[in-house]
A and B are shown apart, each in its own frame.
Chain A
Amino acid sequence: MSETRPGGGAAGASSPVVLEMRDVTKTFGPVTANDHVSLVLHRGEILGLLGENGAGKSTLMKILYGLYRPDWGTILVDGEEVEIRDPKDAVARGIGMVHQHFTLIPPLTVAENIVLGAEPRRGVSLDLNEAIRATERLSERYGLRVDPRARVADLSVGVQQRVEILKTLYREARILVLDEPTAVLTPQETEDLFEILKELVADGLSIILITHKLGELLGVSDRITIIRDGHVVETVNAAETDERALARLMVGRDVLLRVEKVQAKVGQPRLGCEDLVVRSGTGAEAVRGVSLEVRAGEVLGVAGVDGNGQVELAEALAGTRPVGSGSVYLDGEDVTALGADARQERGLAYVPEDRQSKGLVQDFALYENNALKTYDEPPFSRLGWLFPRVMRRRASENLDAYDVRPRDPDARAGSLSGGNQQKAILARELSGDPGVIVAAQPTRGVDVGAIEFIHRQLLEQRERGKAILLISLELEEIRSLSDRIVVMYDGCMVGEMSADEATDETLGLLMAGRGVEV
């Protein structure tokens, strides 16, 4: 059951309550996503909604936005009980949502995207000029700088996000929900966003910020509601808490936010590439002449905002994407022409950034996924004949060693939480005792407890002399695990430094392309 404490921040208990969700319950079959969840939002406040993946915060907000119907519970807007059957109802009630994955139409302009669905008319036809004027009015009023005539496809992610916010403001939202808004932003863009949010609440809006990033919440929210396993654990004032306390509330136990790291014992280069050029699916050059090397016993962190070629770089190194030009080396051998399974046989493990559609076959059982690359070798098969019992046994051992829950080798992979799926992939990749590990976004969408576990696993491999290439969007993760850091921008490596030298500022600048080319 939940208890809400009245907020004590700048816009605290003294402000009227604009939104209240009471005893909201939502089940999907045997899974209870929200269990009598209650929360309160005051006018002019920024409420942080914190929880691990699978805790139920997204479900709760989807209920608020009309995408789900709750099994039980009430929603009150401005003190009045409302029924929200679909997003149209939500919008009519002044609730606006900015999704994690934007819903913009790239070929259209900013103004067109903003008015889409509620277009100003002149007679029967669309009044584009009015749309542009409306955009300019909103842009000025709320201090969100955009060019109404610009094509969305040409805009940076930070500006696209502003357009998403303007969409909600155009529809006169008074309650704004942002779902993981900083996942795609550089540190500077994140700061800009938080400035914008503070101005919006000064103007009378109320904001709910869904995130799993503890540090950011402390910087911008007034109160924070923590959800764990479908229940509200507690609601605290941001001013009266810290990261450790929040992490403990989120996970239910003490969590090491920064894993201990011993001094690196670095050896020979084991993985490397030279003048690597890789094309993306659209044919454009995603990696434009990158050369790097990873040595035994070290973690090389590759930082960068999503979409600057990291994914393609990882795939080219692992062998799941063909190389345009240049070469890839593994322990001194040129493996450019070799496929993923050949490289895997030579000791390269690859944890892909997309566990849903690449790392696992969601509909396969865990024991089948555990053998995804090795099913055609003994002891799992002989002369083409499979031995599922052996596969199950080996999978059981792996699942135990890597703390995958549930420990059921017959469980369907897709039924596991994100963190457990990632641990299962790790179990598969690391159990073959590889010499080189390429890990792309290994903790994306993973809960704090599992993040800690995965980080410890990677550092253990590092201590055992493996070479690790870590690609991550989370600067925190890069800084805490890496020995050396490089930054990718627009397909090129734009900076290289030791972890000690790196600061959020330097990295942020390089990630935004405002640095010196190496």
Chain B
Amino acid sequence: MDGGRRGKPVGGVLRRLLNQIGGALVFPLLAIGISFLIGAVIIIATGNNPVAAYVALITGAFGSPSAIGRTLVNATPLVFTGLGVAVAFRAGLFNIGGEGQVFIGAITAAGLGVALGPLGLLATLVCLLGCILTGFLWGAIPGFLKAFFGAHEVVTTIMLNFIAINLATYLALNTLRGEGLVPGTDTVAAAVRLPLIGLGLGRANYGILLGILAAVVAYVLLWRTGRGFQIRAVGLSPGAANYAGMGIKANTVLALAIGGAFCALGGFVQVIGVEGKMSIPFVANLGFNGIGVALLGRTHPVGVVFGALLFGGLQAGAQQMQFATDVPLSLSDVLLAVILLFVTATKIVEFVVGKRARTLAAGTRLDEGLGR
């Protein structure tokens, strides 16, 4: 038999603190560490120096104001799509429709932004509300189908992606087509745009503040309102929620609708913040990366913000890395993929690092249900 250690629990208060803060961070940090190690192996295999490559990666992400600016630009829409996935996930639902919801938000923002140009900041506000509305309605569709017909939201949200992307693209290239070399809608007037932060941060705009505000809203919604209480209860235990008289159907529709609204705002910041128009081809993978961001952030609004910054940083840094060394851009995708793999497949981390890591992280949600 394996030699036994009589396991003694670490002292009470310290342990609880470790659990709450440390526990939540242990896995993401370990995952990042392991993925960087694996990345180093790949870098060596391409004949490059991993240290130089990682230095370039980190400088390209956070090493200068312009680098930080690029990171923020990348991260901002991901905060929204991450929240869109996270909120739905709290209700036990998988929102894979972020991609389409972003496009819906983008075309709404572009359309309203151009039409209401003269209204300046008021137009910005109307665009914001308009995107929330259209995203909400678009997200309500799979919610409704699930609640009343049992149609699995993974299937319906993916199908609706195709519809939304094609619909928005069609509108951008036909009905709302603008002049100019780059195909897409007209450019929204400067007065409607989200102001740049300046400070040498390049194209970074106040959309990131909106993102943080959205994260606060998501947190307050989930933990400080009666509706959020219901959403979480339904997600964690539909049986108990039903017993308590909470409407499962209503909360299903609402959770996916709210998720859609958040994701649509990702399209909003991309159009009104970064690009000024909806150009075709439009930025891709915001919705799908939102899933990764949500998982990395353990579906908590605070985690989503940090996850988005990590994603944004790796994407920004990869360009510098390719410039300074010869390591291809796609390494950042590989790193992200490995990070996600380890964050979600916690048993792999345990295998690599040993049971102590799992004991440390015991009590955090992802650890539940792994078999005691």
Contact = CB atoms under 8 A, between A and B. Distances in A.
In which size bucket is the chain B interface? Answer: 20 to 34
Contacts of B228: 386
Contact of A385 (B10, B15, B224, B232): B224
Interface string A348-380: 001010100111111110001000110110000
Contact of B244 (A83, A372, A381, A386): A372
A363 B1 contact: no
B244 A362 contact: no
A375 B226 contact: yes
Contact of A375 (B1, B229, B372): B229
A72 interface: yes
Contacts of A373: 244-245
B4 A25 contact: yes
A380 to B, nearest CB: 9
Contacts of A386: 223-226, 228-229
Interface string A401-435: 00000000000101000000000000000000000
Interface string A1-29: 00000000000000000000000010111
A340 interface: yes
Interface of B: 1-7, 9-10, 15, 223-229, 232-233, 236-237, 239-245, 359, 362-363, 365, 368, 372
B1 A72 contact: yes
A32 B244 CA distance: 34
B21 to A, nearest CB: 15
A83 B15 CA distance: 35
B175 to A, nearest CB: 39
Interface of A: 25, 27-30, 32, 69-74, 83, 319-320, 339-342, 344, 350, 352, 354, 357-364, 368, 372-373, 375-376, 381, 384-386, 388, 412, 414
A381 B15 CA distance: 32
Contacts of B224: 385-386, 388
Nearest to B359: A29
User: Among B3, B4, B9, B224, which residue has the most Cβ atoms of chain A within 10 A?
Assistant: B4
B1 to A, nearest CB: 6
Given A340-B244, A386-B225, A72 B237 contact: no
A494 B337 CA distance: 63
Contacts of A376: 226
Given A320-B245, A384-B227, 12 more contacts: A30-B10, A70-B1, A71-B4, A73-B4, A350-B243, A359-B240, A364-B232, A364-B233, A373-B244, A381-B226, A384-B226, A385-B224
B22 to A, nearest CB: 15
A340 B24 CA distance: 37
A358 B243 contact: yes
Contact of A360 (B9, B225, B240): B240
B240 A361 contact: yes
- State the 10 A-B residue pairs at the shortest beta-carbon distance, nearest first: A72-B4, A341-B245, A30-B9, A357-B239, A361-B237, A71-B4, A27-B7, A340-B245, A363-B236, A28-B372
B236 A362 contact: yes
Given A74-B1, A339-B245, A363 B225 contact: no
A360 B3 CA distance: 39
Contacts of B242: 320, 358
B237 A357 contact: yes
B7 A32 contact: yes
B2 A71 contact: yes
14 contacts: A25-B4, A29-B7, A32-B6, A320-B243, A344-B245, A357-B240, A358-B242, A359-B243, A360-B237, A360-B240, A361-B233, A361-B240, A364-B232, A375-B226
Given A74-B1, A340-B245, A344-B245, A372 B233 contact: yes
A263 B154 CA distance: 60
A513 B372 CA distance: 41
Nearest to A381: B226
B240 A363 contact: no
B7 A361 contact: no
User: Among B9, B225, B226, B242, which residue has the most Cβ atoms of chain A within 10 A?
Assistant: B226
B218 to A, nearest CB: 15
Nearest to A380: B226
Given A340-B245, A361-B237, A373-B245, A25 B226 contact: no
Contacts of B9: 29-30
Contacts of B365: 363
Contacts of B237: 357, 360-364
B220 to A, nearest CB: 9
A340 B243 contact: yes
Contacts of B229: 368, 375, 386
B160 to A, nearest CB: 29
User: Among B10, B227, B236, B363, which residue has the most Cβ atoms of chain A within 10 A?
Assistant: B236
A281 to B, nearest CB: 12
A73 B372 CA distance: 19
B240 A358 contact: yes
A149 B102 CA distance: 60
A30 B243 contact: no
Contacts of B7: 27, 29-30, 32, 71
User: Among B223, B244, B365, which residue has the most Cβ atoms of chain A within 10 A?
Assistant: B244
Contacts of B368: 363, 414
A1 to B, nearest CB: 13
Given A27-B7, A386-B226, A354 B239 contact: yes
Contacts of B10: 30
A327 B298 CA distance: 47
A385 B363 CA distance: 28
